[in-house]
Structure 1
Amino acid sequence: MSVVEHVRSGNVPALARELAPLTAAERRELLPGLKQLRKELRDSWSSRAGAWSCLMVAGAVCHSAPSGAAAWLGGREFEDISAWRHARLRELLDDRPAEWQAAVAERLAERRPNRWGTDERLHLVEYLVHRSGCPVPTSDGFVLHWARDRGRPGPRPEVPRPLPVGTDLYVRLLADPWTPVLAPRLFEVAEAAEQLAGPWAARDDGRKWPAVLAELAEAGVLDRADLIDRCLARLLRGGRANELRVFQTVLKALAPTAAENTARVRTYLALLDGPSPIAGEAQQVLIGLDATDLLAEASQTVLFRTEKKLVRAQLGWLDRTARAGARAGDGGERAGEVVLAAAAALGHPDRALQEAALKVIARHLPAAGEAVLPELRLAAEALDPAHHARAADLFGAAPAAAEEYREQLPVVAPRPVPAPPASPEETAEELAAVLAGDDGLVPFERTLDALVRHSFQNREALARALEPVLRVGARTELYTVGEAVCGRIPAHQAWAAVQGRQNWFRHHWTTSFDHQRAARLEEAVWRIVVRPVPFLLAIPTDATGAIDPAALVDRLTRYEEAGLGPGPADLAQALLRVAPTTDPAVLAAAGRLESPEGERLAHWLRTGGLPRQTSEPVTADRRDWRGGRIRTMRQPGVVAEPALPADAACLVGPPEKLRLRDSWWSPQPAEHWLGTLPGHREELAARLLRCFAEVEERGAQQVLPQLAEAAGPAGPAVHLAVGYGLAARHVDDRTAAVDALLVLAARGDLDAALLGAELGELVRAGLAKTTRIAAALRSAADTGAYRTVWGVLAVLLPVALTDRAPRGAAELLALAVDCVRRCGARGPVAEVTAAAGRGGSSRLVQEARALDHLLAGC
């Protein structure tokens, strides 16, 4: 039998006997057959494990060049193969020159181990290093392997110098000659933290990696000073919190002395700018060292941080330093440094911390003298208005004259849709972009229209331009339309799609909105293949999806002049998108249309289009993630005249009849959903509330700005949709809701009291967390919309200030204080007054007293 046959059969002894006497040249001649066998085994479902084991070693020893052997062994199919442990196969590796073994080990060591499993190739590296006597590799991959392997208490693989088998990590590392070389590298490899704290890290051992590293440093196996430096350097580089936590634990285990910390004081100063837990520990080290020469520099970093605990600790350090200077007879100079450093906190966004900084400054200002007053007056300009009078008393600056308040709201301008692509080549570029993922409403609609338009003008030229795109593009909806252009869809299949017998665009998971788009796509394919038209009627003229009525009348006029009729789905979508108008010229032009479709459009425009629907709040039977009944809206639905096709009519029927989810999957609202009814945002909101109510899931609220930009009345459903968005779990979803709120306010469509009432209902029902709402409204207020936000809070606060106020009520009150101060609102709120009269000094009571004081005009 040949070598290849022995490999295929998995006969280890026979394979070893065949390969052992062969020369290097004879072994190289076997490589083509082994490569072919490797492909054969890879494609086979019934390949034997023994064949893979033999193939692994046979291919490696037949490569005379170390690079080829390492490349062979580096194949993914060999990562779990432990064939090299078989004594007869190991003899083949032992016979290779030491230089070959070392070079193969060096190249294989560059590979990173699997995230969870064991990579036998790295055990092989360890074996080859011992056999060749070469230096241990220090690559990232091998360091990760070493840390994972040594962290497990099981037996080591077959190596000439096995380590002690036991459960004590310290004993294993102490006996390992590689520990002094590889352990320091743990602080440099990105994924090392997972190995030091992962599920395998000394699992059966009382002492974990951080404590053992400190013990090894104490025993002199590792350089203690170098370990401290590496640990601090790793913390400086930053990373995820769970990664840094491991190295914090190492540093605590090392317990640097005061002398060691003093030698690294600049490093601790740099750590003040790191994540909160690290910055807090660095701050405590500096405070413990009493590094007063770095106090001002440290204050410049810490006093601008948002963490209140860090800022208060820094102000306390400043206060103690000034007191110590006074006792030492150096009060003037030290006090001057302290008050100027504390002035950095006068611009902190938290009003309570501003007050704490003012107290520190006031305590030591007499000793500092008048020389510091100009700088303090300048810093006081950033103070909250509540502290202006106090600052004027301290620094001698008169309160700034109150300026007339002006609400800052965004400018919402129309966003017209660009002209269609002018050539087949430009159409191909647009299609390539959409297939690559740019599938928003406008790119999709322009590309669909361009495919229809240029198919009518020169289908052959368009097909030539599309061929390269279709060879590499993803098979999305417009890919199928492109196939129709290129002649890949016969007429009978296109007709079957229009008749509902060919489901290219409809699946069990598609929603009613998707069905409406599917109807248009099916019709577009039919038009391209059988009956081309020069353009589509339903292409938007505005980015919201709306169509200018004059443009739609002009399009239908051109259809009549060409003797063509629009498709039912295309016309239905155009009617749902056309903006209402009372322009006599447009209505007159529509009245001159003679086709049935033209008469239908004229009637639609004269009667105001799709009738508006009113919303009625209801509590749905469906439960949310907490088991509560969600709040939604009921609408009666309308029957459009003239009648719409079934897919379009479903969109304007009762919301409960709309199909939005599959039994196991709920899609996120997309731009094209809102683009179907761009002039009816209240109707859209009512139909999508079940999606917006999933506040713990990411993504549904991203369409809220587009909903706000749509036309039509903004009633309870729109405001409830924004309310759900303000209570969303994820920051980016809350940001989208804030954008929607500001757009509504800028267009004069926001009913702040209605939004406050809907938020109150969500809070009362336990469907929204007050802390999230407070954070979202804070973001809105910070844009300059203080009066708008106060209008919401004035209605929401009475709900939040119940006897059992929810968590976050104090944040709402603090935000209300800022809004009222800036916009000058007046008028008592009974619930605020009641909360202000409560006993105690909690933050809620303090903020309620401040707000009640302001609302009374005091």
Structure 2
Amino acid sequence: MTLLELVEAADCDGVIEALPGLPPEERDAECGERLFAARRARSDEWTFAQKWAWLAATLGCAISPAEAAEQLIRFRGTTTDRSGQLSGAVDVHPVAWRIELVARIRDAVPDEGYSCCFRLVEHIARGTGAPMPDRDVFLRAWLFNHFGHYRRVGSSRFDPADVERLRADPLTPVFLPLALERPGVPVRSWLLPFVQLAEDGLLERRALLRRVVAEVRQDGRVPFGHAQEWELLAPTREERAELADDLAAIVEAQLTRLHQDGTRKTTEPTRDYLRVLLADPADNVRYVRDHLALLDKSLPVAALAQEQLVEVDRVEPLEPELVSDASARILLREEKKLVRTQLSWLDRLAKGDPARADRVVLDAALAFDNREVVLQERALHVIARHLRSAGDDVLPRLRTSAARLHASLAPRAAEVLGSEEAGGTCVEALPPAPQPEPVPGPIETVVEVAQEVAVAIADDWEPIGFERALDGVVRHAALDRAGLTEALRPVARKEPRGLYGQGPYLFDVVRTLRGDEPREFALTGAIWNRYRRDEAVLSPPESMLDARMLEVLRIVESGSQPFLLATPTWSTGALDADALVERIAVFEEHGVLAAEHDFAQALLRVDPAPGERVVRAAEALRSEPGRRLARWLRGGGLPHQDSTPAGWAEPAAHRDALCRPAHPGPGIELPLPPAAGDLVGDAQRERVRCVLDPFWLAQLPHHRDEVVARDINTAFVRGWGNERFLPHLAAAGGPAGFAVHRLLAGEIGSCRPALRDLVLDSFLVLAARGQLDTGLLGEQLGAMLSGGRMKVSDVHATLQAAADTGAYRTTWSVLAAALPGLLGGDIPRDSARLLALATECAARCGATGEIPAVAEVAARKGPTQLVKSARALRDALA
């Protein structure tokens, strides 16, 4: 077979075997040209094996060393291990040709990575006596061929036989010292065999140590495994002294990285490296100030800094001011491990040097401000052990600090510090009760209308702005349609982001008013747009809004109304009855017939108890809407329906832990169109969206409890944005019944700390308005906690924040009602924290009385935190 046929057959070994037996005329330049032509014609079709065979055939032909070197370096499939396979292909050439090939490869190989021709170059050098290239790329390839890729220190993949092969390699005496001298050779990648070679005396240990330190200092990065590297090197004190400056630079660089903080995983390599670098506390003294600054960082970083400070103090006692600084930074942190370690450190300091006891007990008293009762108690024990050594001078300051202790610790504090227990009750501090604000009058100019429309489209959580903008469109479409159309030009350019909420509806009204092409998924305009959504996917509030928007489109198109009747006059969405009477009187004066859904929405928003004067004014109206309004007001408007489910507080209901409100049912016959009737009729759970919308409250501003009860599915979906709805719910009108409290209870246990303030504000607003039923809320919380529907820690965080505002009595009332359900069955984890909070609130508001569930837990045997907290609460209520 010819060379080309062997190449086509992908027989590389056959090519190499055939080359020595071929006559020179079959290995001449002409043969090489034929091979190059075949490669250009067939390259895209050839497999890797065929290309490899082609390279062997090409090297065996009479091409120049320069061209051979170029092909070798270009061939991307060539690896260090396979290049030696081509040695038979170049052996057919004269010695001078092969020596020149080595020189060409030496000069042409790129600096990065490893040489892909090392084995071939090594074979030629040994066979011809040519000097072996010693560039960094060949040194790296030499090490790679002995030890492979980087292996982490301590890896079981390392084979000691590799070191034996390196000892027998004739290149070792030359290449090994060069590897230590060249910065381009990453010694740490093969540190384990290098350490073994140093132990065997093949290279100098101090030179290896200096090289590793220099490499770390230059690199700056600390991947996993660096700590094991340093432990493997195990430098002596004398060796560390010789490298003091370099090591100091490395330590400072790593401390700087820790000052940038990070997660446990991202900081772990740096922390581990610092631990081994600073294993000798004597080397660590100079970094005390750095460690103090790190105490404010994340838990892993702060724990390392605290650990280093403690170790330094064992060897060379720190100045009292530094210990106090460390205590001030740690003792108020939430992490119990850090605080316990700091208190143990202070305890040991006072025990070892009683002269420092006065400073120690004052430092320990800083923990009295920590939220965790167990940590306050531990600090009190430390103070009790060393108070006699501290002397009487510290007592006044300690007694002042003790006033901040948890109420359950007051008796022990009085016993230790010789002061009387704190007495008296705190004044309940609640925020001022917010009042509804009046809505400004109609928008006066088309420019202002465009501005209000733009804001309403962008903000779906402001229903009053939407209603004013909608009324402005209707008013000015009748007064100056051309001017309004031009003013709304910028508003119609950019579509709203979502498909839900009142913003997209208003956007479609604007486009229809302007005569623009309807959107593909327009929400309104069924008579113009065939893509309108199927009504089956709409919830009742959305169906009512949809019907109103279609009606607004007809009003704008026909000019049948000068304005809308349903525009609210109060920020809750409520409508003054006298304002509605005046609007209908204007309609009567101009002979305007009110649109059906606009009038129905006005009835649902109007004040149901306006007073006799307003009712008589309504009865004086002559039109059919006027007479319907008069009957509506005389009858007291829409009746309220209780959302409390029957038997919800029974133990069997607690096991379900859902406490679903009673859904308002049918049976109310009202003079309303179907879309408005659905708002107050039977709830349809399957048609409810995932997030409660403030606009729904504005549709029924005097019936917030029924709004939540009808759409209660979303009240059980945590994580969907109900926290943003709660402030609107707290500020709305109407009774706050079971459904309102159930929604609040569910969000009190929310696991999103960033949104906890919204829930807390709603809790306090309802309390300030006298609308918070603390007993009902507490029972719901107890039922849900016992059923495992929320975490005790989340409920504790919200109620603790409420107590911190000064609402101790309100918080206690909620907890007192929650504890029987919480402790009545399998007690959830962290319940001791709620008992501790209840103890604090009861003591501050002077609550008394017995809670049987608490007394039962307090009577148990054992020193568990739950039992201790129950006993403290029982004693506080005695």
Q: Distance in 1 between matches of 2:686 and 2:563?
A: 30
SS at match of 1:314: helix
Residue from 563, 571, 582 that aligns with 2:591: 563
Pairwise CA distance, 1:685: 1.8
Pairwise CA distance, 1:570: 1.6
Q: Which residue of 2 is the match for residue 199 of structure 1?
A: none
Residue from 598, 602, 607 that aligns with 1:579: 607
The structure-2 alpha-carbon separation of the partners of 1:316 and 1:496, relative to structure 1 and needing over 3 Å to count, comes to closer
Pairwise CA distance, 1:187: 6.3
The structure-2 alpha-carbon separation of the partners of 1:239 and 1:589, relative to structure 1 and needing over 3 Å to count, comes to farther
With CA pairs under 8 Å and 6+ residues apart, which has the higher RCO, 1 or 2? Answer: 2
Q: Which amino acid aligns with 2:308?
A: V
Please state if 1:463 is matched with 2:468: no
Q: Distance in 2 between matches of 1:468 and 1:797?
A: 58
Residue from 287, 303, 319 that aligns with 1:264: 287
The structure-2 alpha-carbon separation of the partners of 1:374 and 1:790, relative to structure 1 and needing over 3 Å to count, comes to closer
Q: Which residue of 2 is the match for residue 676 of structure 1?
A: 699
Pairwise CA distance, 1:345: 1.9
Please state if 1:243 is matched with 2:288: no
Pairwise CA distance, 1:302: 0.9
Please state if 1:812 is matched with 2:823: no
The structure-2 alpha-carbon separation of the partners of 1:344 and 1:715, relative to structure 1 and needing over 3 Å to count, comes to same
The structure-2 alpha-carbon separation of the partners of 1:834 and 1:176, relative to structure 1 and needing over 3 Å to count, comes to closer
The structure-2 alpha-carbon separation of the partners of 1:568 and 1:343, relative to structure 1 and needing over 3 Å to count, comes to same
The structure-2 alpha-carbon separation of the partners of 1:216 and 1:650, relative to structure 1 and needing over 3 Å to count, comes to farther
Q: Which residue of 2 is the match for residue 726 of structure 1?
A: 748
Q: Which residue of 2 is the match for residue 711 of structure 1?
A: 733
Q: What is the RMSD of the two structures over their aligned residues, measured on CA atoms?
A: 4.1
Q: Distance in 1 between matches of 2:537 and 2:522?
A: 22
Residue from 437, 443, 448 that aligns with 2:465: 443
Cα deviation 1:110-168 (Å, max 9, x = unaligned): xxxxxxxxxxxxxxxxxxxx99989xxxxxxxxxxxxxxxxxxxxxxxx9998648443
Pairwise CA distance, 1:395: 5.1
Q: Which residue of 1 is the match for residue 150 of structure 2?
A: 168
The structure-2 alpha-carbon separation of the partners of 1:449 and 1:785, relative to structure 1 and needing over 3 Å to count, comes to same
Do the aligned residues in 1 keep the contact of 2:430 with 2:764 (CA within 8 Å)?
no
The structure-2 alpha-carbon separation of the partners of 1:523 and 1:316, relative to structure 1 and needing over 3 Å to count, comes to same
SS at match of 1:822: helix
Q: Distance in 2 between matches of 1:554 and 1:213?
A: 87
* Counterparts of residues 91-490 of structure 1 (less than 5 Å): 164=144, 166-169=148-151, 173-174=186-187, 211=228, 224-252=247-275, 254=277, 256-290=279-313, 291-293=317-319, 294-326=322-354, 331=355, 334-388=356-410, 391=413, 402-403=424-425, 405-437=427-459, 439-472=461-494, 474=496, 476-488=504-516
Cα deviation 1:551-594 (Å, max 9, x = unaligned): 22222222222322232222222222222114112111211222
Pairwise CA distance, 1:658: 5.9
Q: Distance in 1 between matches of 2:704 and 2:330?
A: 46
Please state if 1:742 is matched with 2:770: no
Please state if 1:848 is matched with 2:870: yes
User: What 5-or-longer segments of structure 2 have no aligned partner?
Assistant: 1-43, 45-69, 75-107, 113-136, 154-184, 191-210, 498-503, 649-654
Pairwise CA distance, 1:404: 5.7
Q: Distance in 2 between matches of 1:644 and 1:180?
A: 85
The structure-2 alpha-carbon separation of the partners of 1:636 and 1:302, relative to structure 1 and needing over 3 Å to count, comes to closer
Q: Which amino acid aligns with 2:476?
A: H
Q: Which amino acid aligns with 1:757?
A: E
Cα deviation 1:158-179 (Å, max 9, x = unaligned): x999864844345994388999
Please state if 1:518 is matched with 2:536: no
Normalising to structure 2: TM-score of the pair? 0.69
Pairwise CA distance, 1:797: 1.1
Q: Which amino acid aligns with 1:382?
A: R
The more displaced of 576-585 and 724-733 is 724-733
Pairwise CA distance, 1:269: 0.8
The structure-2 alpha-carbon separation of the partners of 1:588 and 1:278, relative to structure 1 and needing over 3 Å to count, comes to same
Q: Distance in 2 between matches of 1:245 and 1:566?
A: 71
Pairwise CA distance, 1:837: 0.9
Q: Which amino acid aligns with 1:428?
A: A
The structure-2 alpha-carbon separation of the partners of 1:264 and 1:748, relative to structure 1 and needing over 3 Å to count, comes to same
Q: Which residue of 2 is the match for residue 37 of structure 1?
A: none
Pairwise CA distance, 1:840: 0.8
Q: Which residue of 2 is the match for residue 140 of structure 1?
A: none
The structure-2 alpha-carbon separation of the partners of 1:759 and 1:394, relative to structure 1 and needing over 3 Å to count, comes to closer
Pairwise CA distance, 1:484: 2.7
% identity of equivalent residues:
38
SS at match of 1:633: coil
Please state if 1:693 is matched with 2:699: no
Do the aligned residues in 2 keep the contact of 1:169 with 1:208 (CA within 8 Å)?
no
Pairwise CA distance, 1:274: 1.0
Q: What is the count of residue pairs matched by the alignment?
A: 679
The more displaced of 274-283 and 160-169 is 160-169
SS at match of 1:264: helix
Q: Distance in 2 between matches of 1:757 and 1:314?
A: 40
Q: Distance in 2 between matches of 1:495 and 1:835?
A: 58
The structure-2 alpha-carbon separation of the partners of 1:263 and 1:758, relative to structure 1 and needing over 3 Å to count, comes to same
Cα deviation 1:508-559 (Å, max 9, x = unaligned): 7543322222222222222222225332222222222222222222222222
Pairwise CA distance, 1:373: 3.6
Q: Distance in 1 between matches of 2:549 and 2:375?
A: 60
Q: Distance in 2 between matches of 1:533 and 1:263?
A: 83
Q: Distance in 1 between matches of 2:863 and 2:386?
A: 26
Q: Distance in 2 between matches of 1:590 and 1:442?
A: 25
Normalising to structure 1: TM-score of the pair? 0.71
Residue from 812, 825, 828 that aligns with 2:847: 825
Q: Which residue of 2 is the match for residue 533 of structure 1?
A: 561
Q: Which amino acid aligns with 1:751?
A: D
Q: Distance in 2 between matches of 1:244 and 1:688?
A: 47
Q: Distance in 2 between matches of 1:640 and 1:774?
A: 42
Q: Which residue of 1 is the match for residue 94 of structure 2?
A: none
Do the aligned residues in 2 keep the contact of 1:477 with 1:505 (CA within 8 Å)?
no
Q: Which residue of 2 is the match for residue 604 of structure 1?
A: 632
* Counterparts of residues 18-29 of structure 1 (less than 5 Å): none
Please state if 1:774 is matched with 2:796: yes
Bigger Cα Rg = 2
Do the aligned residues in 2 keep the contact of 1:494 with 1:522 (CA within 8 Å)?
no
Please state if 1:785 is matched with 2:767: no
Q: Which amino acid aligns with 1:231?
A: Q
Q: Which amino acid aligns with 2:363?
A: A
SS at match of 2:702: coil
The structure-2 alpha-carbon separation of the partners of 1:474 and 1:654, relative to structure 1 and needing over 3 Å to count, comes to closer
Do the aligned residues in 1 keep the contact of 2:526 with 2:532 (CA within 8 Å)?
no
* Counterparts of residues 51-66 of structure 1 (less than 5 Å): none
Do the aligned residues in 2 keep the contact of 1:527 with 1:533 (CA within 8 Å)?
yes
Cα deviation 1:214-265 (Å, max 9, x = unaligned): 8799899995443332222122112344433453344446564323322211
Q: Which amino acid aligns with 1:607?
A: G
Cα deviation 1:679-725 (Å, max 9, x = unaligned): 11221121232111123x34234312322322222222222222222
SS at match of 1:356: helix
User: What 5-or-longer segments of structure 1 have no aligned partner?
Assistant: 1-49, 51-86, 92-129, 135-158, 197-206, 621-626, 662-666
The structure-2 alpha-carbon separation of the partners of 1:500 and 1:176, relative to structure 1 and needing over 3 Å to count, comes to same
